[in-house]
Structure 1
Amino acid sequence: MASATPWTILITGATGKQGSAVIDALLAENNHNHDNNKPLNIIAVTRDTASHSAQALARRPNVSVIAGDLADPDAIFDQATLNGNAVWGVFGVQVNSAEEEKQGKALVTASVARGVRHFVYASGDRGGPEKSELDPTFVKNFAAKFSIEKHLQKMTAASPQAMTYSILRPVTFFENMTADIHGKGFARMWEQMGPNKALQLVSTKDIGYVAAQAFTHPGKYRNVAMTLVGDELTQSEAEVIFQEVVGSSMPMAPCPIGSAVKFFKKDTVGDMFRWFEENGYGGDVVQCRKEFPGLMDYRTWLVEQSPFVQRPSK
């Protein structure tokens, strides 16, 4: 690679939790290990370049923001390569929707066609490494991710450029715990899983960190899938930690609301929580922390990242 050629990474979902975390981590990694022979060029894809979050991204060093719709990945690549530089890496993440599988597969196919060398896909765990490879599960968005993974593995194996991949399989996000009605509903549905059923959780900031590691060390994370988990605890165990850190009880919706959400959103939320209760994630917290020592547990996330703790302004 010539010294003046940028190391271009295309980030989808750039203003979302995972995409923005990847950008943060890549910029931090670039500042820490700056290599003048491989200048970083991040192309952040968002649906609305005029949004506040997109404008904030555009002001960051080494970041270019483009408008794009995952329904048309070829148009995204057309914009990304206007300056003549090829896209070396792609971070793929899709919103949970009826179009998730279609859009995920299309992004993989376009990446192969455009000569991308390394693809990092934000998927999800489905019961640990072995089960995740074999079982799509009865949860629709889990099954969509399973199909995208299989498409990615098939396409990379046959790609003329020998494109490699890293599949990230995070468990439930700590960020589901918020002070609004959505977070209160999540807490209630977690509590309704029962006192003995633990849930595995991870921070989106840590997902971004691992994705950045996969890009900066593609040989080490070549053609691997990794379950990402930062902690494992029941809601009652989390409640004890929450009270110690925050000084009050975890905000929680009334019982009927949790039950109603699971009933009326059976194909999404209802099936997912039923899967949590009947099956559950299969991440290894100790092994994951051994590979990535900085992963946050619940207490650390509460203190450093959660909306429940007031932190001084920078």
Structure 2
Amino acid sequence: MAAVRPAAWLGDLVRAVAAVTPPGEPPDPDVVGTVARMLGITEPVPVEKITSREVPTAQQDEPVTPVLPPASSDVPFGEHPERPEPPRFDDAEDDTGRGPLVGLRESWVEVAKPTLVWEDENVAMLERTTVEQLRRKPPFEPLLRRASTAAMVQSLMTQRLPGDEVDVDALIDEVAAGRAVTSLPRLPQPTLRCGAHVLIEDSEAMSLFWRDQWELARVVRNVVGAALTDVSVFSSTPLWPRRGHSHPAPRRAVLVLSAFDVLQGRAEREEWEYYVAWLRQRECRVAGLVPFPPDRWSRWLTRLMPLVCWDRGTTVGTVRSALERVA
């Protein structure tokens, strides 16, 4: 940032000196020097004061006194006063320490950016994609958490059936009512001995979850047993499974992996109501897993069977709550 030139302040100096000088008298050099120093035109006076009658020596700095135009009374009529030449500031000496902006420095310096040279000798070549990599299946992560999938499947497939212990309270009620006891009532116990049946929907709505469906069917086989687990596939209606696939056996726990009517026109209410009623006549318990949020389920479907959201946030407690709500 360059220092400010004091040439613009000479007019201020003339006006200030004229204001303190009585009319008709020449200006006092001391007054001129004082005003010039106050305006920052000249440097401060040295320690030893130099009067107008003293002659500056080589050891003393000569004060800079601007040349003022003569008073109007000293100029003859018809002549113009000679204008003093403005001070010249073309000297190459450093004037950063002069003037009223002493001590200021440059606040911003532009630094030239280095020229970047591109070198491709040490750049590693990218790995080329092969046909085997394109044919390879992407990594699979199931919708349910792997650590709790088996526990959730066990809760879905477990049925409460009469066990070996006698229900004493039910037996007392039968005797007190005077009814003949033909068989001893048994206490219900959770069991998987009746087996399981997985019903898989093969449709456009479930095309993204095809691997999840078969992965869950594999977990059901591991939990219930391969001999007690059946799998059937249907496309449009559960009443007509794919060729070679059978309907659930009596007393089996049925797990439906379907989108139902999440996409409009994919499920018929009358067909599902008829199919679930037919399964219950065969003493089959039905539950469904839906890979869509509950706000997209139909109300008639939630009243028809217990539904569980098939997602990462599903827990064993969520499954048990859904089963108890419909039971």
TM-score (norm 1): 0.31
Q: Which has the larger radius of gyration?
A: 2
More helix by share: 1
TM-score (norm 2): 0.30
